[in-house]
Amino acid sequence: MNARLESVGGRLPRFRGRLHDARTATVVGRLLGAAVAVCFVTGLISHYLQQPPGWAANVLPSRPVWGYRLTQGLHVATGIAAIPLLLAKLWTVYPRLFGWPPVKSVAHALERLSIAVLVASLLLEIFTGLLDTTQWYPWPFPFRQTHFALAWVAIGSVLLHIAVKAPVIAAHWRRGSAPADPDAPDRRSFVAAVLTAVGGVTLATVGQSFTPLKATDLLAPRRPGDGPQALPVNRTAAQAGITGTRLAGWRLRVAGPTPYELTYRQLTSLPQRSAVLPISCVEGWSQNAHWTGVPLRDLLDRAQAPHDARVRIVSLERGGNYAVTEMGASYARDPLTLLAVSLGGRPLDHDHGYPARVIAPNRPGVLQTKWVTRIEVLT
C-alpha cells in the first residue's frame, strides 16, 4: 500500500498514506468486532460449563449433544480468525501512534490509555489462547482463570472504544461515505487480502473440529482420526501414570446411600447402551465417536442416589487437573451419560480411559474423566 512517511523537522514521521483512514478502520474493525463478540460469548459458555456457579450446577443443559462442540469450535475458530484481523486493524491505525502532540487533553490521554489497554488485552488474550490450543503453558499463572479475567478487560475496552468512536464508525459505516472516494478500489483489495488471510488460517485449522474439512487441517495440533481407535488423545495412560500395576485388581466403587463395588466383568455384564457423542476438547479439537457402556443413572439408582444428587467422579490418575470432576444432576440423569467401557465396538484403549471413562452429552472434554475408579454421590 501507499503508506508514505515524511519526516517533520527530523522529529516524527508523518503519514500521508492511504488506507490508514477511518473508512478502512471501520470496515476492518467491524469484522474484528464480530469475531471478538462470538469469541467472547462462546468463551463465557465454556467457562460456565466447566465451572458453573452453585445454583446452576444441577440445571446446565445436557442437550443438544453437540452444543459444546459447536460453541468451542467457534471459540477457537474466531480466536484464530481474530489474529489476521487484529494485525490488519493495527496496521490501519498505527500512524495515530505518532500523533503530535502525544497528549492534547485529559480526555485524549484517557482515550490513548484505553487503546493501550485494548490492544494489550486483545493481544494477550489471543496469544494465551493460541498457546493453549497447543497445550503449551510457558507462564507461571493458571491459563483458564487468567484467560477468563482478561476477557472482561478486553471486552470492556472494546465496548469503550466503540462508544468513543461511535460517531466516526457511524459516519463511515456505509460504502461511499466519502463522496467519490479515490481510495475505494485499493481499500477493496486490502479488505480482500485480509479476508483471504482469515479464510486461509481458518481453512488450515477449522478441520480440527469441523471434520468435513479435516483434509485441510494442516496447522492445528490435533487431527480428527489420528490416535488409538481413530480418536485423538490429549493425555496418554503413560503420561497419567496409569500402569498395569495400578490397574491390577481394578474395581468400580460407588459411594452413596447404598454403596457397592463392581469388578470389570460385573460392570460389563450390566445392561449396556450405546451413543454417538463427541469428545469436544477445550483446546479446540473435537470428534464424534461411538461409545458403549452403562448409563450413569443406572449405576446411581443402584446406589439409591436421590434424583437431584450431584456426583463426583474420581480417576485412578493421581494428581493432574482432571483426575477428579463433578457433575450436576442434569448430566448425571441424562440417559446418554455413560460410564463407557468401549469405543467403536471395542474395549477402550488404555489411552482412552480403560477400564471405564465418563462420556456425557454437551460437556467439555476436560470433564470426560478417564480411568474412572470411584463415583461418589454428593448430597
Ligand X SMILES: Nc1nc2c(c(=O)[nH]1)N[C@H]1C(S)=C(S)[C@@H](COP(=O)(O)O)O[C@H]1N2
List residues binding ligand X (CB under 6 A). Answer: 231-235, 240, 279, 281, 315, 317, 320, 322-323, 352-353, 365-366, 368-371
Maximum CA pair distance of the chain? 86
Give the nearest distance from C-beta 79 to Mo ion in angstroms. 16
Rule CB under 5 A: which of 205-264 touch Mo ion?
234
Contact 73, 209 (CB under 8 A): yes
User: With respect to ligand X, which residue has the nearer C-beta, 112 or 374?
Assistant: 374
3-state secondary structure of 110: helix
Give the nearest distance from C-beta 351 to ligand X in angstroms. 6
Q: Which three cell numbers stand for residue 88?
A: 490488519
Give the nearest distance from C-beta 290 to ligand X in angstroms. 13
User: With respect to Mo ion, which residue has the nearer C-beta, 86 or 367?
Assistant: 367
Residue 322 contact partner, candidates ligand X, Mo ion, none, CB within 5 to 8 A by sort of partner = ligand X
Report the half-sphere exposure of 55 (CA within 13 A, side-chain side).
0
Give the nearest distance from C-beta 208 to ligand X in angstroms. 12
Query: Omega into 101 within 30° of 0, i.e. cis?
Result: yes
Distance CA 365, CA 279 (A): 5
Among residues 281, 338, 358, 375, the one that binds Mo ion under rule CB under 5 A: 281
Specify which residues 294 forms β-bridges with.
Answer: 339
Distance CA 218, CA 16 (A): 40
User: With respect to ligand X, which residue has the nearer C-beta, 353 or 355?
Assistant: 353
Give first-to-last CA distance, the chain, whole Å.
65
Question: Which amino acid is located at 294 in the chain?
Answer: V
Question: Which amino acid is located at 140 in the chain?
Answer: P
User: With respect to ligand X, which residue has the nearer C-beta, 26 or 234?
Assistant: 234
Give the nearest distance from C-beta 281 to ligand X in angstroms. 3
Specify which residues 262 forms β-bridges with.
Answer: 252
Q: Is 366 in the site for Mo ion (CB under 5 A)?
A: yes
Give the nearest distance from C-beta 374 to ligand X in angstroms. 12
User: With respect to Mo ion, which residue has the nearer C-beta, 92 or 325?
Assistant: 325
Residue 187 contact partner, candidates Mo ion, ligand X, none, CB within 5 to 8 A by sort of partner = none
User: With respect to Mo ion, which residue has the nearer C-beta, 26 or 369?
Assistant: 369
User: With respect to Mo ion, which residue has the nearer C-beta, 48 or 94?
Assistant: 48
Q: Which of 102, 68, 357 is nearest to 233 (CA)?
A: 357
Q: Which of 378, 295, 327, 367 is nearest to 60 (CA)?
A: 327
Give the nearest distance from C-beta 285 to Mo ion in angstroms. 8
Residue 26 contact partner, candidates Mo ion, ligand X, none, CB within 5 to 8 A by sort of partner = none
